[in-house]
């Protein structure tokens, strides 16, 4: 769900408590304040699980709490595979690597975090690929391995279960 809340103390709790009240389970919350924004509202993205038939109850509770629902929908890609990439990622065009995976239509880069120690030093990044089947995640990982060989990037895998 993507929600819009007032930018004032206690509003995040007002958005999250109804999920618990209907028996739901919050899996993740993304809530960032933009210090340059002049809006009096904030967007909050919540990944959650709800018991069967509780969505309408949740929507009603959120509305009573003054929380606006901007989007409701299931995430398409539920299977994830995370790896560490080590090498000159920026110099070998990391955006090209991401674009080649996203361009497959069956997988996408869902998360990317990077550490850059110095301009001429190797960069390390945690990259998570998402897909909707084991077969497609395997195809996407094969593609990432090919790209990494071409660009001289080391892949450390798997990270799941560590």
> Could you read off the pLDDT of 110-138 as tens digits, one per residue?
899 999 888 889 999 999 998 888 899 99
Whether pLDDT at 35 is above 70: no
56, 111 in Cβ contact below 8 A?
no
Residues 6+ apart with CB under 8 A from 115: 123, 124, 125
CATH class given for the domain over 79-156? alpha beta
Q: What is the pLDDT of residues 90-110, one digit of tens each?
A: 889 999 999 999 999 889 998
80, 115 in Cβ contact below 8 A?
no
Structure pTM? 0.55
Beta bridge partners of 34: none
SS3 19: helix
Whether pLDDT at 152 is above 90: yes
Which residues of the chain does CATH 3.30.70.260 include?
Answer: 2-71
Q: Which CATH number fits domain 2-71: 1.10.1060.10, 1.10.3720.10, 3.30.200.20, 3.30.70.260?
A: 3.30.70.260
CB atoms within 10 A of CB 62: 22
Assigned token pair, 98: 């991401």
Least confident of 20-29, 41-50, 106-115: 41-50
Nearest residue to 50 via CA among 42, 59, 40, 41: 59
* pLDDT band of 30, cuts 50, 70, 90: confident
């Amino acid at each position: 769900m993507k929600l819009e809340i007032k930018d004032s103390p206690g509003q995040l709790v007002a958005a999250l408590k109804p999920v618990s009240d209907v028996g739901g389970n919050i899996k993740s919350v993304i809530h960032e304040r933009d210090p340059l924004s002049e809006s009096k509202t904030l967007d909050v993205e919540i990944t959650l699980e709800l018991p069967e038939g509780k969505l309408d109850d949740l929507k009603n509770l959120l509305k009573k709490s003054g929380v606006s629902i901007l989007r409701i929908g299931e995430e398409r890609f539920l299977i994830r595979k995370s790896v560490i990439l080590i090498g000159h990622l920026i110099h070998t065009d990391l955006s090209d690597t991401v674009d080649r995976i996203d361009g497959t239509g069956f997988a996408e880069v869902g998360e990317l975090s990077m550490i850059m120690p110095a301009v001429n030093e190797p960069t390390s990044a945690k990259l998570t690929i998402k897909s909707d089947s084991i077969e497609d995640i395997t195809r996407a990982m094969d593609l990432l391995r090919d790209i990494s060989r071409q660009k001289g990037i080391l892949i450390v895998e798997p990270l799941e279960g560590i």
